[in-house]
Amino acid sequence: MLDKTLDTVPRDTDTEHQGRPPPPRKRHRVLGLVLLVVLIGAAALGAKGVLKRQDNDAKLAAWTDAQAIPTVNVVLPAKGAKAQDLILPGDIQAFYEAPIYARVPGYLKMWYQDIGARVKAGQLLGEIDTPDLDQQLAQAKSDLASVEADYQLAVVTAKRWKALVASNSVSQQVTDEKVAAAVAKKALVAGSQANVDRLNALEGFKRLVAPFDGVVTGRETDVGALINVGSADSNAVLFKVADIHEMRVYVRVPQAYSSQLYPGMTADLKLAQYPHDIFKAKLETLSNAITEGSRTVLVELLAKNPEGKLWPGTFAEIYFHLPPDADIYRLPASSMVFRQHGLQVATVGPDNKVLLKPITPGRNLGVELEVLSGLSPSDRVIANPPDSIDTGDEVKVAAPGTGTVRKVASDKPATGSAE
């Protein structure tokens, strides 16, 4: 009974356990809890790492896709062509230029004007000694005197026979023959006179004279030189005289610019021997025909030459000041796309998608090209399109002069509120 009573008496467990370790079962429970917390933390860290790696992969993919979209610079078509200088080579010729040929054979007796001499119309340049012509003239004059004497005799004879026929002393037949003989002698006199006049005219060509006021640009003979009758085919030029008070300038203008030229417009001349001088010329006329070989039109200009600085045969650079054309556009030459369908430009649409547009080119201005049709003023043209660009490609538009991507009007602006 005592043992049972002792067993039912409650024990002070705290008193009993003071100074002794807890039972093993409770220790195991604590360790389990600690291990569970560690596992949960490790799992959380692993999940966080996985999520971060997935986020990094997504960002890398987005960055890669963004880098695959090309960034381009765009330009707007410039309205109207710039005023420009059309520079072409030209030839300067004298207003009048005449080669002096010999009309009679002989020897040069003397020349009186050398190259560079200023001469007046009719001024003596040289003389030709023509002994053969002189003898022919003398013989022609003698023949003329002879036929004139025969003619006078024939006239007297015809008068006498006319008087005799009235008295029936001679026949009418013989009288008519005498009258006809007088008429024939008269014709011979006229022929001989014409021959004398011809030779007298040739005698006048013994004197070589200037045909107009000008300057002697060539002397191709000398005293004692044998002179033959010359022509343009023989190249036997004795003197050359040019009128240089005003010069003719000839230039061939390409067909593309022919419509912009008109009589009365001015041009500048630049010569190599006068690098600091500019000479003015006025367009006089156009040939109104295109040369098939070169597809150019011949243009003639006139340039005053009061100081005589412009010389015949001079090469010159002709500067035509062409007016601007407000009906066409200008684009950089680098914006052109050459494809099998012709010349095109790459434009950026409102959705930043590329649209290739065919154009009709005009004049090539060097760094720029005129566009006659195919564009509108609002078209955003890619300044330097890649060779692989095509319609439908997505692009980014760079901000001008920064190299950064620019938000275009079609992009939605970022919205939000500050808290």
- pLDDT at position 176, please? 84
Q: How far apart are the first and last CA of the chain?
A: 81
141-181 pLDDT tens trace? 999 999 999 999 999 988 888 888 777 777 888 888 888 99
Confidence of residue 133 (pLDDT cuts 50, 70, 90): very high
Could you tell me if 322 and 85 are in contact, meaning their C-beta atoms sit under 8 angstroms apart?
yes
User: Whats the size of the chain, residue-wise?
Assistant: 419
Give the other-Cβ count within 10 Å of 236's Cβ. Answer: 16
345-374 pLDDT tens trace? 889 988 888 888 898 887 777 788 888 888
pTM of the model: 0.60
Sequence letter at residue 27: R
Report the 3 state secondary structure along 70-99. Answer: CEECEECCEECCCCEEEEEEEEEEEEEEEE
Of 182, 200, 310, the closest CA to residue 246 belongs to 310
Could you tell me if 235 and 143 are in contact, meaning their C-beta atoms sit under 8 angstroms apart?
no
| Owner of token pair 């005589």 | 308
Strand partners, 100: 239
Confidence of residue 412 (pLDDT cuts 50, 70, 90): very low
pLDDT at 408 over 60: no
34-90 pLDDT tens trace? 777 777 877 777 777 777 777 766 666 665 655 567 888 888 888 766 667 889 999
